[in-house]
């Protein structure tokens, strides 16, 4: 209708949320639409965070042959301007066989809005247009996380945030994003070591806080942990120690973080990544307790990539290199490693991606070369953990299918694919 009705400029006012790669796909689509209609197209997209969604801006102006005339900034407000020569539309449409075919079929009526002519303008210099370069993929994700965190905190009337700092890669990335989003003066880290915490964990947390310039509180919790063990000893008598005792530690930490939140009005940021949340490798009312989950949609391998990117931007290891090199561990028992419970993340992440984001069944995933027993195990863990995800805080969506609104499984009437 735009083509046959004679429209020369299409204006698209949009609120299109971000996920990885969507900006480029959207831009290709808009350029195709401009070509389809042999018209200029001005696309204006919302920018900012809204709960789990981030709107990335990335407004564009396209020409009648799909050429990119101007592009605005990603993840920031911007003014996109261009001089458009409407004679181009007339010239190109002379060669468009669709208009000739439509004319033969007969006249059609279209609703038109006639505006009074603008006052004659004085001669002026042509406007300069800007095609802002796009972020590289990793930088784009990092910018989305910063914007989503900043807007969630500030739009919900918080000024400061607090998070547990373990010296691990997840809490280090979360702290980096929070500092870039809010400023170091508005971030408080809390180290809460126990008997199972390695010496380098506390050292790395201290070094990270020093590098970014935010305040670090150290609150040892081993005495509190022992008090819980003593309190429960008569009830647990004769039973072997297991994950129950391990989970007391993150629950104590969660209680302390919420106490700081209550006392000072700080928003608690949780630090779990998508890989852990996907398979339920977390403690309910422990490390899941908080107000906003910054990296809940970031797979573990991407966490490392984002940390390396942040170090590259800084020009030095602002996130200590030892954080990136150490074996992932929750440090809830002696010599614990994540791989004791989970497949290696290099294997886990692609399986999760196939199952969650591509909706692949077990057979399809196995056909990609993965061990059948591992695939079945991962899928069972994902399905069994739905009840935990329902009780976790919102976080920034950066993938096409994030846990939350994009993903719902029944808890009671459990869905089970053929395993």
Structure confidence at residue 87 (pLDDT)? 80
Span 9-105 CATH architecture: 4-Layer Sandwich (3.60)
Per-residue confidence at 85, pLDDT binned at 50, 70, 90? confident
Give every CB contact of residue 28 below 8 A, 6+ residues apart in sequence: none
Q: Say whether pTM exceeds 0.75.
A: yes
Q: Length of the chain, please?
A: 419
Give every CB contact of residue 345 below 8 A, 6+ residues apart in sequence: 275, 299, 300, 301, 328, 338
Structure confidence at residue 118 (pLDDT)? 66
- Inform me whether the pLDDT recorded for 105 exceeds 60: no
Structure confidence at residue 295 (pLDDT)? 98
Structure confidence at residue 185 (pLDDT)? 98
Q: How far is Cα 381 from Cα 416, in angstroms, rounded to an integer?
A: 11
- Inform me whether the pLDDT recorded for 124 exceeds 80: no
User: Mean per-residue pLDDT for 3-15?
Assistant: 82
More confident residue, 145 or 93: 145
Could you tell me the CATH superfamily of domain 145-390?
A: HUPs (3.40.50.620)
Long-range (24+ apart) CB contacts under 8 A made by 103-108 are 108/4
- Inform me whether the pLDDT recorded for 106 exceeds 60: no
Residue carrying structure tokens 């303008």: 121
HSE-CB of 257 using CA atoms within 13 angstroms:
32
Per-residue confidence at 59, pLDDT binned at 50, 70, 90? very high
Which two structure tokens, joined as six digits, stand for 165? Answer: 């700092």
Note the pLDDT tens digit of each residue in 245-263: 999 999 999 999 999 999 9
Note the pLDDT tens digit of each residue in 312-353: 999 999 999 999 998 877 777 777 777 788 899 999 999 999
- Each domain of the chain, given as residue ranges in start order, spans 9-105, 145-390
Note the pLDDT tens digit of each residue in 228-249: 999 999 999 999 999 999 999 9
Note the pLDDT tens digit of each residue in 187-206: 999 999 998 888 888 999 99
Best-predicted range by mean pLDDT among 113-122, 131-140, 338-347, 399-408?
A: 131-140
């Amino acid at each position: 209708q735009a083509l046959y009705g004679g429209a020369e400029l299409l204006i698209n006012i949009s609120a299109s949320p971000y996920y990885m790669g969507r900006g480029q796909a959207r831009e290709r689509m808009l350029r195709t639409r401009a070509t389809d209609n042999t018209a200029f197209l001005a696309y204006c997209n919302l920018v900012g965070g809204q709960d789990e969604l981030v709107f990335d801006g990335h407004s564009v102006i396209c020409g009648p042959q799909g050429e990119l005339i101007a592009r605005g900034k990603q993840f920031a407000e911007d003014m996109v301007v261009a001089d458009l020569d409407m004679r181009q539309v007339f010239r190109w449409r002379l060669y468009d066989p669709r208009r000739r075919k439509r004319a033969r079929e007969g006249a059609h009526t279209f609703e038109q809005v006639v505006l009074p002519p603008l006052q004659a303008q004085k001669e002026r210099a042509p406007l300069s247009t800007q095609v802002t370069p796009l972020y590289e993929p990793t930088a784009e994700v990092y910018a989305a996380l910063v914007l989503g965190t900043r807007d969630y905190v500030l739009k919900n009337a918080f000024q400061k945030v607090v998070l547990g700092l373990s010296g691990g890669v997840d809490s280090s990335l979360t702290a980096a994003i929070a500092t870039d989003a809010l400023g170091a003066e508005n971030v408080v880290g809390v180290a809460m070591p126990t008997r199972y915490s390695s010496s380098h964990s506390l050292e790395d947390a201290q070094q990270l806080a020093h590098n970014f310039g935010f305040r670090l509180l150290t609150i040892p919790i081993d005495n509190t942990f022992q008090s819980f063990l003593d309190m429960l000893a008569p009830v647990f008598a004769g039973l072997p120690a297991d994950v129950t005792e391990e989970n007391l530690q993150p629950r104590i930490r969660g209680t302390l973080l919420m106490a700081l939140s209550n006392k000072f009005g700080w928003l608690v940021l949780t630090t779990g990544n998508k890989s852990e949340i996907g398979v339920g490798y977390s403690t309910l009312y422990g490390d899941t307790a908080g107000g906003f989950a910054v990296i809940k949609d970031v797979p573990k391998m991407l966490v490392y990539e984002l940390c390396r990117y942040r170090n590259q931007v800084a020009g030095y290891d602002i996130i200590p290199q030892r954080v990136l090199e150490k074996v992932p561990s929750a440090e809830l028992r002696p010599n614990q490693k994540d791989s004791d419970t989970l497949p290696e993340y290099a294997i886990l992440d692609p399986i999760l991606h196939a199952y969650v984001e591509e909706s692949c069944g077990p057979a399809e995933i196995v056909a990609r070369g993965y061990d059948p027993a591992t695939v079945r195990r991962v899928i069972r863990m994902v399905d069994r953990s739905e009840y935990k995800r329902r009780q976790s805080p919102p976080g920034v969506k950066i993938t096409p299918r994030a846990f939350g609104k994009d993903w719902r499984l029944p808890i009671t009437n459990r869905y089970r694919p053929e395993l």
